[in-house]
Amino acid sequence: MQEAIRNEDVDIADYIVDDDVPYYKLNANNSSADDERPETPITVSVSYQDNMLATLSMLPFDDHHYMLAQHLIGSLDDDGYLRRELEAIVDDLAFTQNIQTTVVELEDTLKLIQTLDPPGIAARDLRECLMLQLERKHHDQAPNDVAYRILKEYMEEFSKKHYEKIQKGLSLDDEELKEAIHEILLLNPRPGGGSAEDTRTSQQIIPDFILTVSDNQLDLTLNSKNDPDLRISRSFQEMLSSYSKDKKNKDLKEAVTFIKSKIDAAKWFIDAIKQRQHTLLSTMTAIMNFQKDYFMQGDETELKPMILKDIADMVGLDISTVSRVANSKYVETPYGTFLLKSFFSEGLQTDTGEEASSREIKKILTDHIGNEDKKHPLPDEKLAEILNKAGYNIARRTVAKYREQLNIPVARLRKEV
């Protein structure tokens, strides 16, 4: 080891690497050449508006109407609807492009645009969108179609699934009603396809933890891809070595003071990263131990009620720290990749005095709703009654809250013919 060189408060002995030790031996790399290094894919696509503008020349437009059509197409939203009133578009054209037009002229132009692909494009509401698709499908004979009449005359009843009123009003038997509803449900309510989503970066979740089950034991590790290989630049070592050979060089002496401060900062940063990894690992370990029954089998009904305070007390951290970890980190398990937040849930008392996880209740609700008779779907009162008989003390309003969190509509809207 080189002799320690001291000058005032500069001590570089701890910063110079022993020349007898090859530099590559001082670095660790947990990845191998066989590890997958997936690039984050970016999808690039042509929007439906671009396709419409490309085929606009096929329509019988003069220059004036061509500019109107361009503006109307540019005014369509991501789902392919024209949400802006034609009166407002008349003003837009006058003030922004100095183009004078009328609502009637725009209406005629819009009707021609609606003949372009995709079917149902440029509609002003869902009803018009679906009717346009039926007209295209039946080659303008749709007005005689039962499905078309339902949309034209009974759109509100259809949206609320008041099928009895539709059946009575149009004198339909059960089979005719069923066929018409089936035809409507096959139509596309979003002809634009939500193009804003098509051009977004495809996000790929890289889990922060990897949890495996082997020989009835749980094994948890940090994902090496999220464990950066940090080291101090070799050039700093070389500059310090130069100073050790030329102690009288004033410029080098000042450089050493600067380098020392940077190396200290780097060491602090590396220590902070290690502390962060320790926090992550200890938090996830606590969650794994708390929910061991679930992680051993993957059965959601085995999830215990768990709140942030439970884990914070186990690891000796502030609740806000655990919350940040839970809201942003993912774990890969044999049953899928999950956000840590998904393992937290409130608890409910059972008849036996035990606590049941709200996620367990949601799983039971999902199962019952999935297996219900779609002609007579289970209302919230009936679902609450089923849960109460199973030993879960739960009110109808709580069932409604959980159902809404699961994005499951009310019984009336789940009804099928």
Summarize pLDDT for 97-118 with one digit per residue, the tens: 999 999 999 999 999 999 999 9
CB 413 within 8 A of CB 161: yes
In a domain, 42, yes or no: no
Show contacts of 239-245: CB within 8 Å, 24+ apart.
240/12, 240/15, 240/16, 241/2, 241/16, 241/19, 243/5, 243/12, 244/2, 244/5, 244/12, 244/16
* Model confidence at 199: pLDDT above 60: no
Contact in structure between 51 and 162 (CB atoms under 8 Å): no
If asked whether residues 404 and 351 sit together in one domain, one would say: yes
Q: What's the one-letter identity of residue 154?
A: Y
For the purposes of burial, counting CB atoms within 10 Å of the CB of 78, is it exposed (0-12), middle (13-18) or buried (19 or more)?
Answer: middle
When comparing pLDDT for 18 and 396, which is higher? 396
Res. 94: pLDDT tops 90: yes
Pairing assessment for the beta strands 6-7 and 10-11 based on DSSP bridges: antiparallel
Same domain? For 329 and 352 the reply is no
Of the listed ranges 141-150, 157-166, 368-377, the least confidently predicted one is: 141-150
pLDDT band at 86 (very low <50, low <70, confident <90, very high): very high
Same domain, 224 and 326: yes
Same domain, 295 and 381: no
Q: For residue 15, what pLDDT band results from cuts at 50, 70 and 90? A: low
Average pLDDT over residues 216-226: 84
Tokens of 65: 């109407």
CA distance 228 to 247: 35
274: nearest Cα among 287, 328, 266, 313: 266
- The answer to whether residue 9 is domain-embedded is no
Final residue of a structural domain among 101, 118, 135: 118
Which is more confident, 39 or 269? Answer: 269
pLDDT at 25: 45
Instruction: Using a cut of 0.85, tell me whether the model's pTM lies above it.
Output: no
251 and 337 in one domain?
yes
Which comes out higher in pLDDT, residue 298 or 9? 298
Residue 22 phi, psi (nearest 5): -60, 140
Does 364 reside within a domain? yes
Give the least confident one: 207-216, 232-241, 242-251, 362-371: 242-251
Q: What pLDDT does residue 10 have?
A: 46
Residues of the chain above pLDDT 70, percent = 77
Q: Are residues 237 and 315 in the same domain?
A: yes
Cα 143 to Cα 134: distance, rounded to the nearest angstrom = 9
Q: Do 86 and 171 lie in a common domain?
A: no
Any domain includes 21:
no
pLDDT at position 225: 66
- Give the end of a domain, one of 297, 320, 343: 343
Contact 314, 286 (CB under 8 A): yes
Tell whether the model's pLDDT for residue 393 goes beyond 90.
Answer: no
CATH number, residue 383: 1.10.10.60
- 232, part of any domain: yes
Which of 55 and 140 is assigned the larger pLDDT? Answer: 55
Higher pLDDT pick, 337 / 260: 337
Summarize the confidence of residues 4-31 as an average pLDDT: 47
Of the listed ranges 6-15, 79-88, 123-132, 266-275, the one predicted with least confidence: 6-15
Confidence of residue 375 (pLDDT cuts 50, 70, 90): confident
Q: What pLDDT is stored for residue 264 in this prediction?
A: 82
**Cα 129 from Cα 151, distance rounded (Å):** 10
First to last CA, the chain: 86
Is residue 35 in some structural domain?
Answer: no
C-alpha span between 188 and 53 (Å, rounded): 21
Residue 186: exposure state from Cβ atoms within 10 A (0-12, 13-18, ≥19): exposed
Q: Which domain holds residue 57?
A: 48-118
Total count of domains within the chain: 4
Helix (H) or strand (E) holding 238: helix 234-245
Considering the domain architecture, whether residues 310 and 373 belong to the same structural domain is answered as no
* Residue with the larger pLDDT of the pair 237 and 336: 336
Residue 74 structure tokens: 């540019």
Say what the pLDDT of residue 247 is: 60
Same domain, 298 and 253: yes
3-state SS class at 232: coil
Of the residues 93, 118, 143, the one at which a domain ends: 118
For residues 150 and 107, membership in a common domain is answered with no
Domain contains 266: yes
Residue 130 sits in the same domain as residue 109? no
The candidate with the shortest Cα–Cα distance to 135, out of 125, 124, 147, 126, is 147
Residues 6+ apart with CB under 8 A from 105: 65, 68
Q: Which band of pLDDT confidence, cut at 50, 70 and 90, is reported for residue 125?
A: very high
In a domain, 41, yes or no: no
Q: Which band of pLDDT confidence, cut at 50, 70 and 90, is reported for residue 358? A: confident
pLDDT band at 167 (very low <50, low <70, confident <90, very high): very high
Q: Is 335 found in the same domain as 319?
A: yes
For the chain, what is the mean pLDDT?
82
- Helices 48-55 and 63-74: crossing angle, nearest 10°? 170
Mean pLDDT, residues 125-150 taken together: 86
CB 166 within 8 A of CB 154: yes
**How far apart are the C-alpha atoms of 410 and 322, rounded to whole Å?**
35
- Omega into 60 within 30° of 0, i.e. cis? no
